[in-house]
Each structure stands twice: as structure tokens, then as C-alpha cells.
Copies of this chain bind each other. A is one copy, B any other.
């Protein structure tokens, strides 16, 4: 199970990156191979001028293609996902998320902007052909706290939601991988001659 975490915050350190990291750690713990792509680390000029042929853009696109699961995290700015995230998504092929399961994450200053996940981000992810987009997780500033020394802390509610989402991802991946190949019944119970 290969996972790509895409960070859409323009900041070096951000609640968005912390929330994304909290998801990534849970996935690692469950045995997934996790990579992180921070859009802000890509060459800015290539993104702004939609330079599809830039080596770093090609590499980033390949990372998306190689992932089974994509976790997309964005701050909510101006009632929607960040422009930083969108410049990257704009560079992907039309069906870049085909066959993939996506988990959307967002952080916002107040609870008022929660619906940006379903009304703004989801239609964009949908247009990229995602196989399944899980319910998004929205965290307010109070729910993801960055410590002065650099660590971070997510509150219990967000922790539970991340756990649930990771369980769903793991289970769906297992059932999907097994479909059409071999049984997911414990081996000891199967006597087949297919």
C-alpha cells in the first residue's frame, strides 16, 4: 500500500502540514509506504507557468501515479482550498487519480468554513477521476496546535477521525487487492482448486 501525502500550504510550518503528518504516521504504522510532496518545495516558476515538462513536475506527477492512496491537505483561504494546492492539481493529467482512493484534509481558523471540503475541494478531486474520496476531515486552529519547539498536537476528536479514516483506507485496500486474486479468508479455512 503506497501512500502519497500532498501538502498544499504555502508555509514552512503549518497546521495543515501537522494534520497531514498525523495521517501519515497512522498510515506508516499500519504498514503503508508513505511519501510526502510539499507543493511549496516544487520550482515556483514551473508551477506558475504550467511547465508540464519540468523534471520536478514530471517527478511529482509520477509520485501521484505510483500511489494507491492520496491524502490531500489544504488550508482554507477565501472560503476554498489554497491556490498553492490548485496550481499543482492543475498540472496533473485529467485522470491522475483514477483507481485511487483519496482522503481530503483541511484546516481553517473557525468551524464556519468546513463545507469548503465538500463544495470546493471534492468536485476538483472528483474531476481527476478518483475511485473513491473518503469523507474529509476538517480541523479548526484549536484542534491542531503547533508547539513552540516544533512538534504538534491534534485533539482527541481529530485523532479519532484520522483513526477511522486510516482504518477505512487499510480495509478498502485489502479487500480491493484481494478481489479477483485470492481469498481474503484466513488461508487455513480455504480449500480451493480454482
Across-interface contacts of A113 in B (CB, < 8 A): 114-115
Kindly state whether residue A25 has any CB partner on chain B within 8 Å: no
Report whether B78 and A127 are in contact in the complex, using a CB–CB cutoff of 8 Å: yes
Known: A175-B176, A184-B180. A115 touches B111 (CB 8 A): no
Across-interface contacts of A114 in B (CB, < 8 A): 112-113, 115
Interface size on A, residues (CB 8 A): 66
Report whether A83 and B80 are in contact in the complex, using a CB–CB cutoff of 8 Å: no
Q: Which of B10, B88, B112, B119 contacts A123 (CB 8 A)?
A: B119
Please give the count of copies of this chain that the complex contains.
Answer: 4
Across-interface contacts of A138 in B (CB, < 8 A): 112
Across-interface contacts of A86 in B (CB, < 8 A): 77-78, 80-83, 86-87
A158 to B46, CA, bound (A): 32
Least CB distance, A100 to chain B, in whole angstroms: 13
Report whether B119 and A115 are in contact in the complex, using a CB–CB cutoff of 8 Å: yes
Across-interface contacts of A116 in B (CB, < 8 A): 115
Known: A112-B115, A192-B194. A84 touches B87 (CB 8 A): yes
Q: Which of B40, B120, B185 contacts A182 (CB 8 A)?
A: B185
Across-interface contacts of A77 in B (CB, < 8 A): 86, 90
Least CB distance, A191 to chain B, in whole angstroms: 4
Kindly state whether residue A147 has any CB partner on chain B within 8 Å: no
Closest to A130 in B: B135
Least CB distance, A87 to chain B, in whole angstroms: 3
